[in-house]
Structure 1
Amino acid sequence: MAKRIVLFMFMTFTSLVLSGCLVAESKYLKKAEEADALGREAATLQEMHRELSAENGTLKAQLSRVKEEAAVLAKEKEKLSADNRELDQVLRSKTDSLSQTVADLRQKVSDLEDENARLKEEIAAAQKAREENVRQVSKTYEDLLDSMKGEIAQGQVTISELKGKLTVNMVDAILFDSGEAEVKQGGMDVLAKMVDILKGVQDKMIRIEGHTDNVRIIGNLARRFPTNWELSAARAINVARYLQSRGIDPAVLAAVANSEYRPVATNDTGEGRAKNRRIEIVLVPRDAP
């Protein structure tokens, strides 16, 4: 009985030992498998760490480049902003200047328009005055032609009209005796035919011009008239005095001596010299030289 109990106990103990060994072995195998799995996972994680480290370096390098580029762009942006501010200031200044220029030009245009309107009025008035002057000169011309048609027919007087200038050309013989400067009676009669017509002339100067030939004055006559200057002056003055005595305003009269220096014909012939010895009564505008 006792042997059976011992044997049972031995068998029980052996069973327990074997069972414990089996359990221990199972745990070991399990731990070994876990360690192997962890090793593989660690290796995998180490490889991932290396890859991530390499990628991190690459990203850091890219980040550094991006920061540098951003810094460059920031500087360029600041420069552009400064340029824009300067450009805006320049444009504002030019705009203000152009605005002032436009205002000045508008004022000038307005002034020119006013001046042009005034000039047009003056031109119209001048044109009207010119037309009136032409009409008046033409009427004076026609009246003189009619009044002196006898002398004109005899070739003693010629009357011409050119650009508002009317000239009555009279040979000296019709007005003066040879070598004399006083107007003779026949000359006064001729001049009298023009007096009323000349009195009606307005806004004109009556210029009496004395002309001679180039023959030198000699003998006793030279004591009175040393040269043809004195003779032409004396004759022009005496005609002016006669017209004044007949009521023509002396303020519109002028006596001019031309001597021999404005001939209308050659002095080489008697006929030419006779044409050069003359008195011209010229009607000219008051502002004419």
Structure 2
Amino acid sequence: MKKLILLSVVSMFILGSCVSKKEYAALEAKQKETQDMLNTATVKLNSCLSDAAAANARVEQLRDQLADLRKANQDLIDTKGNLTTLTQKGAENLERSLESLKERDLKITRLQDALTKKDSVTLAIVTSLKREVGISDPDIEINVEKGVVFISIADKLLFQSGSYNVTNRAKEILAKVAKVINSKPNFEAMVEAHTDNVPYKRDVLLDNWDLSVKRATSVVRVLESLEVNPQQLIASGRSYYVPLVENDTAENRAKNRRTRIVVLPKIDQFYEMVETEMKNLAEGK
């Protein structure tokens, strides 16, 4: 990947003298996109490596405990000279302890595999969103936060000032987001609308709560019109209570007026996956 980036940069310098400014800018934007994708992949890789190291350390600890128990069992047998001094019940208890450690080891391995798979899917979604939506617009941010993927769109791209009607420019962006959501039928998309702290009251809308909820439902309706399964959609209004920055300047208030589309796995399906693994373990599969 690093070689690909270096080749891209060198190509940009070589072509810079013989291509138009528009082509040069396109190449430069492509290089930035590639670099951002590499940075994201590197962060996820480091996280996965850290998680894997922790899981491996735990596995080694359990294996050491297993070895200690086996040695203790053998020492008892060797010391007494025969199995008559070790009651049948005690032997069964020790064997159950050994089996329990084996099961725990297997559970950790399976859960680690599940988490690794989830991280891989998360990274794939980020890559898909960046490819479909594009990252050249500073008013569109795609990132991962607390294990979930989100795309944050500035208020000025989605709505006219004080309005909850989605603009045509926003519909173009949402069409690309819909394409990614439709490719992940096992995920949900929560539309989370935020306002600044300037009091709002117009027509039937009483306050900023009403405005944020109405904006969230407006975006949901656009996604639904783009054939996104309504069962995957959640409309959420946050009013002005979760600001990114203080609402002390016009610029900061503009930052706080935003809509986030959060793409996250269905919790019930995640628990179902874990329960299935536990059931397979109990049945010895």
**Scaled by the length of structure 2, what TM-score is found?**
0.58
Whose radius of gyration is greater, 1 or 2? 1
The 1-side partners of 2:210 and 2:151 are apart by 22
Residues 1:232 and 2:217 aligned together: no
Residues 1:236 and 1:229: Cα distance change in structure 2 (over 3 Å): same
Q: Does the CA-based 8 Å contact 2:140-2:154 persist in structure 1?
A: yes
CA drift at 1:121: 3.2
The 1-side partners of 2:105 and 2:230 are apart by 35
The 2-side partners of 1:111 and 1:203 are apart by 38
Query: Relative to total residues, which structure has the larger helix share, 1 or 2?
Result: 1
Q: 1:155 is paired with a residue of what secondary structure?
A: coil
Given candidates 245, 248, 257, the residue that maps to 1:265 is 245
CA drift at 1:185: 1.8
The 2-side partners of 1:168 and 1:134 are apart by 17
Matching residue of 1:195: 178
Matching residue of 1:128: 113
The 2-side partners of 1:257 and 1:105 are apart by 60
Matching residue of 1:138: 123
The letter of the residue matching 1:209 is E
The 1-side partners of 2:196 and 2:112 are apart by 40
Residues 1:269 and 1:121: Cα distance change in structure 2 (over 3 Å): same
Aligned residues: 185
CA drift at 1:102: 5.6
Residues 1:225 and 1:102: Cα distance change in structure 2 (over 3 Å): farther
The letter of the residue matching 2:131 is D
The letter of the residue matching 1:192 is A
For structure 2, the residue ranges without an aligned partner over 5 or more in a row are: 1-83, 269-285
Identity of matched residues, %: 28
Residues 1:124 and 1:270: Cα distance change in structure 2 (over 3 Å): same
The 2-side partners of 1:103 and 1:255 are apart by 61
Q: 2:239 is paired with a residue of what secondary structure?
A: coil
Q: Does the CA-based 8 Å contact 1:136-1:201 persist in structure 2?
A: no
5 Å-filtered alignment, 1:100-249, equals 103-149=88-134, 152-201=135-184, 203-218=186-201, 221=202, 223-249=203-229
The letter of the residue matching 1:158 is E
CA drift at 1:247: 2.3
CA drift at 1:159: 0.9
Q: Does the CA-based 8 Å contact 2:150-2:262 persist in structure 1?
A: yes
The 2-side partners of 1:156 and 1:249 are apart by 27
CA drift at 1:104: 4.8
The 2-side partners of 1:105 and 1:287 are apart by 42
5 Å-filtered alignment, 1:61-76, equals none
| Alignment RMSD | 2.5
